[in-house]
């Protein structure tokens, strides 16, 4: 829970920071000379966020990055230092998220109104026309995090706003939104995962501690996926092949459970090594055969669980936090590290 709080705090600080940037005419992503493009993973290794700026989000193919410099939101192609484009200038940016195909992204912004209540909005921005944007949602719901469905049809916006739920579904075609009330998502910054086809949503329920549920987005029907007694924080993640749902339990020691997505039958229930502490993130490999788990031990580390054997190992290399995901070839994990005091996108090879 402490790490979740720090992550949420970091998101707010990152997107509302007023620290001055270096010369904004030169505010670009830098590809370090050591990162010669030889393999897919090395395309991003060594990319740095400009001094005085903060990372916001990266496209699904890791080829475009969004970062903020004070109240300025910038878009840049990672391999082209001259491509940085100013997208939005606003003091109240609260989050960005990319569409599945990387052709556009959503930006969350909030403003106080005359009654001193915050009015939030979600705008869709096209990557090839960043100066244009269309309003997708406006209301009192605080859309701090956005999760775009793999189908591209929905955005799960999670945060707050005094409603009985803490998440809404917004249609990307602009035809409206649907509250998930009375459904609420526990640990909303991490506790939800779309099925590969975008028709279902697995989430940690805030109705009862220790429950993961499956929402059929089309019908609104929910079914119980897994339940665990005791105060345990659960983080679900749908496998890329759609056959299983992995559930990470942030307890001591931690645990990982793999459930059949159709029958909801528990296939595996493993206890994690005792030194894999504060395990709150998990990422499936593209072939659905490995799960990467972020944990903290004298720094941010990466554990690997192989399926179906349950063999556990640790990835060596740079400390990454947060982790963005696996490279398409499944040979590396990509995330945010640090180099010479600058936020740097790095790729860590995984055997």
List, run by run, the mean pLDDT of 10-residue segments along the chain (351 residues): 34 31 28 28 57 85 88 86 83 87 90 67 90 82 80 82 63 76 58 89 79 87 86 84 92 88 95 84 94 80 92 81 86 82 81 78
Work out how many domains the chain is built from and give that number. Answer: 1
CB contact set of 22 (below 8 Å; sequence gap of 6+): 50, 51, 52
Distance CA 60, CA 64 (A): 8
Strand-pair category, 211-216 with 222-227 = antiparallel
User: Domain for residue 138, yes or no?
Assistant: yes
- Measured CA distances, 314 to 103, 184, 293 (Å): 34, 34, 9
What's the confidence (pLDDT) of residue 142? 67
57: region left, alpha or beta (phi > 0 left; psi from -120 to 50 alpha):
beta
141 located within any domain = yes
Question: In this structure, what DSSP letter does residue 252 have?
Answer: S
pTM of the model: 0.78
Query: Does 167 fall in a domain?
Result: yes
Per the structure, the complete domain to which residue 145 belongs is given by: 1-22+53-182
Q: What is the pLDDT of residue 89?
A: 87
> Is residue 336 one of the residues assigned to a domain?
no
- pLDDT value of residue 32: 28
CATH code assigned at 119 = 2.120.10.60
Q: Which two tokens stand for residue 76?
A: 């840049």
86 within some domain: yes
For residue 206, is it within any domain? no
Instruction: Collect all residues with Cβ–Cβ distance below 8 Å to 150 and sequence separation of at least 6.
Output: 100, 194, 195, 196, 197, 198
Q: Tell me, what's the pLDDT at 61?
A: 87
**Per-residue confidence (pLDDT) for residue 301, from 0 to 100:** 83
In a domain, 113, yes or no: yes
In a domain, 63, yes or no: yes
pLDDT of residue 138: 81
| pLDDT score for 183 | 58
Q: What is the pLDDT of residue 263?
A: 95
Give the position of tokens 């705090």. 9
């Amino acid at each position: 829970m402490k790490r979740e709080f720090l992550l949420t705090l970091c998101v707010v600080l990152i997107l509302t920071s007023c620290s001055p940037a270096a010369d904004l005419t030169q505010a670009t992503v830098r590809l370090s000379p050591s990162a010669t493009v030889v393999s897919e993973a090395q395309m991003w290794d060594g990319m740095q966020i400009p001094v005085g700026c903060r990372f916001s989000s990266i496209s699904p193919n890791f080829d475009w990055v969004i970062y903020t410099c004070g109240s300025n939101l910038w878009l840049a192609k990672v391999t082209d230092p001259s491509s940085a484009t100013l997208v939005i200038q606003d003091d109240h940016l609260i989050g960005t998220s990319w569409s599945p195909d990387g052709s556009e992204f959503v930006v969350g912004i909030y403003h106080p109104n005359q009654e001193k209540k915050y009015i939030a909005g979600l705008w869709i921005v096209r990557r090839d026309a960043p100066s244009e944007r269309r309003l997708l949602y406006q209301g009192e719901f605080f859309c701090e995090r956005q999760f775009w469905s793999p189908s591209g049809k929905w955005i799960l916006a999670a945060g707050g706003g005094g409603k009985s739920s803490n998440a809404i579904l917004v249609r990307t075609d602009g035809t409206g939104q649907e509250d998930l009330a009375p459904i609420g998502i526990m640990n909303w910054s991490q506790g939800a995962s779309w099925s590969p086809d975008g028709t279902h949503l697995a989430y940690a329920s805030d109705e009862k501690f220790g429950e993961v549920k499956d929402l059929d987005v089309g019908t609104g029907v929910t079914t119980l996926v897994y339940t665990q007694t005791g105060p345990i924080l659960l983080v679900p993640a749908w496998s890329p092949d759609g056959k299983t749902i992995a559930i990470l339990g942030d307890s001591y020691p931690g645990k990982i459970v793999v459930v059949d997505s159709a029958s909801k039958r528990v296939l595996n229930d493993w206890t994690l090594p005792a030194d894999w502490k504060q395990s709150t993130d998990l990422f499936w490999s593209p072939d659905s055969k490995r799960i990467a788990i972020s944990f903290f031990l004298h720094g941010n580390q990466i554990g690997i669980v192989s399926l179906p054997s349950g063999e556990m190992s640790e990835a060596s290399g740079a400390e990454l936090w947060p982790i963005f995901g696996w490279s398409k070839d499944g040979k590396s994990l990509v995330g945010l590290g640090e180099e010479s005091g600058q936020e740097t996108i790095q790729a860590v090879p995984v055997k």
